[in-house]
Amino acid sequence: MSALELIAAALAAGTGAGVTGVASTAVKDAYEQLKALLQHRPRAVKAIAELEGAQAGAETWQARLDGEDFEGDTETLTEARRLLDAMAQVPNWQVNLTRAQGVQFGPGSVQFNDFRS
């Protein structure tokens, strides 16, 4: 993965998580830090202004950032990796609880219900 692809993937993941509301504190912090590191790059500032809040994919981000050279920017690349690592820790569950009763959800959950009344 090139440096540009890494940055684009991280930005897409960070904005997508924020839009869907599944972002953890670690994801939000890493995304904000990545944006702060990109503030001196005109194409990045413009892309963030245009795409933040949208669910744009990595390809869209990559097209908007094309021409920026991230290869030697180790701080920004490290932050992008940190964001993607944080995103990997966010559970990717989708649950339909229509007409559910006595639901407890999550790893290691134990629940005892008695619906005989």
Q: How far apart are CA 34 and CA 61, in angstroms?
A: 14
Q: What is the pLDDT of residue 70?
A: 93
Q: What is the pLDDT of residue 19?
A: 47
Q: What is the pLDDT of residue 50?
A: 92
Per-residue pLDDT of the chain (117 residues; tens, 9 = 90+): 899 999 999 999 888 776 455 567 888 889 999 999 999 999 999 999 999 877 889 999 999 999 899 999 999 999 999 999 998 887 766 777 888 877 777 777 888 878 786
Q: What is the pLDDT of residue 12?
A: 92
- Spatial contact of 90 and 24, defined as CB atoms under 8 Å apart: yes
Q: What is the pLDDT of residue 93?
A: 67
Phi, psi of 112 (to 5 degrees): -120, 125
CA 35 to chain centre: 12
